[in-house]
Amino acid sequence: MIRLVNVTLRYPNNVVALRNVSLEIKKQEFVILKGHTGCGKSSLLRLLYRDVVATEGSVYVFHRDLGRMSPRDIPYLRRRIGVVFQDFLLIPTKTAYQNVSYALEARGASLREIRTLTPEVLEMVGLADKLNCLPEELSGGEQQRVCLARALVNKPDLLLADEPTGNLDAATSREIMKLIASINRKGTTVIVATHDPEVFDHFGHRVVELEEGVLVRDVRR
């Protein structure tokens, strides 16, 4: 599903985020991308949903070479990828229902599909009774569940979660990770970037560790 071949990523300010990284991830794997802040975890995820392009090497997702991908094809790639951000990035003036349904509207889903899928996915993440709440009326854990629902509503083949527990207490973090693990068991490939020991000690089938942009460890368990 994913293949990186000798990938180096250098930003315009000459900061090197990744150095000669080669990596393969198979369909339905649950991978923990481990490393301290600034080690290149987020940059690697950005490569996978084509937010940035490798300076050197090749990145393949769904058998497509992202470096050669036409800009008009990027939205179609992203429809198959769900992304969960640490900072939630919810629209503050929209309810939980509207934040999730917006992802369907953006791809041109029918009103019938929106009315069916939105409450269905919010129920899946345990927010059936919070449909009409604004983000400010939700706890941090509930906001992250809305983000997860938004990422899942288009039924992605790949879920990328960037520090999904970074702003949450330990108990809530475990609940979010259990939810992500259950999504993986249903067939979605999952990559979680984290520096949280609780996460990489107890979740994921494989741990990939980055240190200063270099892949230093890849362990299946």
Q: Are 203 and 32 in contact (CB under 8 A)?
A: yes
Q: How far apart are CA 218 and CA 216, in angstroms?
A: 7
Q: What does the domain layout of the chain look like in residue ranges?
A: 90-155
**pLDDT per position as a tens digit, 185-207:** 999 999 999 988 888 888 888 99
Q: How far apart are CA 181 and CA 189, in angstroms?
A: 10
Q: Are 204 and 29 in contact (CB under 8 A)?
A: no
Task: Look at the block and give the residue holding tokens 């409450």.
Answer: 119
Q: How far apart are CA 28 and CA 157, in angstroms?
A: 8
Those residues whose C-beta lies under 8 Å from the C-beta of residue 106, and which sit 6 or more positions away, are none
Predicted TM-score (pTM) of the model is 0.93
**pLDDT per position as a tens digit, 25-77:** 999 999 999 999 899 999 999 999 999 999 999 999 999 999 999 999 999 99
